[in-house]
Structure 1
Amino acid sequence: MLTRKQHELLTFIQTRLESSGISPSFEEMKEALDLKSKSGVHRLISALEERGFIRRLANRARALEVIREPDTASPRTAPRGPAPVKPVAPAPATLREPANDVIEIPLHGRIAAGAPIEAMEGATMLPVPAALLGPGEHYALEVSGDSMIDAGILDGDMALIRRTDVARDGEIVVALVRGEEATLKYLRREKGMVRLDPANAAYDPQFYTPGEVQVQGKLAGLLRRYH
């Protein structure tokens, strides 16, 4: 069952698509729902996407498609349980206007792409193009070091991290080592041990017991400044 805000946002998006064929911007959605920030819009969109009501069209920041919609009953007030859903036709194909919608995510210090260093201390906010982020909660870390250069991760990059405590072998993760230091590495499991692999032949893999390593997130994207 959708929350009232989720229901309102889904209805607003569907109405805009039917009238113009163009998804509303994050700013328009924020104002329509009387929210304080675009981060709230991002969370609502992620929730609707996870529940299968909308989907994002690849490589288009403002391209949302409504897959299904609730009926006209208000959310959480229908007399007989959850509001049923019905399929809706995709919005007519049309040329989407470019957009630069951004959301702000926490920026938590620096993280090593070499020897582990501290992370997750303090927090400022980093504006990020919404198209770079999928569903879920995200934060950013500034990369320090060169041990992941063969994966295209350079010193000074901003690593965009999806918060999670689970990961599959071969994924690039933020690993908290012994509860004190965090590092950005490939995660692999080998003979009862956790192996954190660099992407630079000049560095050796790091081996730990499972109890010494806690996954704090997975790499979702990168931002790079050019000077």
Structure 2
Amino acid sequence: MLTAKQHELIRFIQQRLEETGISPSFEEMKEALDLKSKSGVHRLISALEERGFIRRLPNRARALEVIKNPEDSTPIPRNTTTLAANDRVISNAAAPTTSTPKPAPEAANDVIEIPLHGRIAAGAPIEALEGQSSLPVPAALLGPGEHYALEVSGDSMIEAGIFDGDFALVRRTNTARDGEIVVALVNGEEATLKYLHKDGSLVRLDPANATYDPQVYGPGEVEVQGKLAGLLRRYH
């Protein structure tokens, strides 16, 4: 079952695609659903994507595809409607043989706000600070799921291209595969950004800097709070 807002959003997207062939921007979806922020739109889209009702077209800004109707869960033919800012809509049943292409609408650079939860250590663990601020992030950098940001402090991950002052974009999850870069909460009070490795009942957090040693913890001492999804870097 979809929520009322999820139903409303998928109907709005499908209507816009049928009318113009272009998926609506995050700002248009926010206004149509009377939401307070674009982060609410992002959460709705992620939920619909995870449940198989829509999908994002890769490597394109402002590109969504409705693949299943919420009313009857009937799949929509993949090639009947193409939705991207740089594509025109052509039906397979009646594709024109000659026509003058219309100017393609300009792609929208949608930006959403995700929570910014203080600083995280890329060195010795430091306290994970919870904050109420937010960070604007291009939607194209984020995949499905809920995300948050942390400011990196330290240099223990520089060989992975993660530097002091970078913003780590983190997908919220409590599971991760061996070798993934995670936000690890140590003893319930300190957080660090490291490669995760499991060695029997022990957990090893590996840095990406030859001058730092791995950190080894016993059962129950480490809790995964997210996986690294991307980075933002500001140049001054």
TM-score, normalised relative to structure 1 = 0.90
Query: C-alpha separation between the residues in 1 aligned to 2:105 and 2:140?
Result: 14
2:220 equivalent in structure 1: 211
Distance 1:221 1:96, change over 3 A: farther
Query: C-alpha separation between the residues in 1 aligned to 2:76 and 2:140?
Result: 24
4+ runs deviating over 4 angstroms:
none
Residues 153-194 of structure 1, C-alpha deviations (whole Å, 9 max, x = no match): 111100011111111111111111111211000000013210
Residues 93-141 of structure 1, C-alpha deviations (whole Å, 9 max, x = no match): 4356321211111111111111111113323111111111122211110
Contact kept, 8 Å, 1:176 with 1:214, in 2: the verdict is: yes
1:141 equivalent in structure 2: 150
Mark the runs of 5 or more structure 1 residues left unpaired by the alignment. Answer: 71-82
Letter in 2 for 1:170: G
CA RMSD of aligned residues (A): 1.4
Query: C-alpha separation between the residues in 1 aligned to 2:155 and 2:37?
Result: 35
157, 165, 170: which is aligned to 1:161?
Answer: 170
1:104 equivalent in structure 2: 113
Name the SS for the 1:222 alignment partner: strand
Query: C-alpha separation between the residues in 1 aligned to 2:172 and 2:129?
Result: 12
1:183 equivalent in structure 2: 192
2:22 equivalent in structure 1: 22
2:96 equivalent in structure 1: none
Letter in 2 for 1:166: T
1:86 and 2:95 aligned: no
Identical positions, percent: 80
1:45 and 2:45 aligned: yes
1:122 and 2:131 aligned: yes
Name the SS for the 2:155 alignment partner: coil
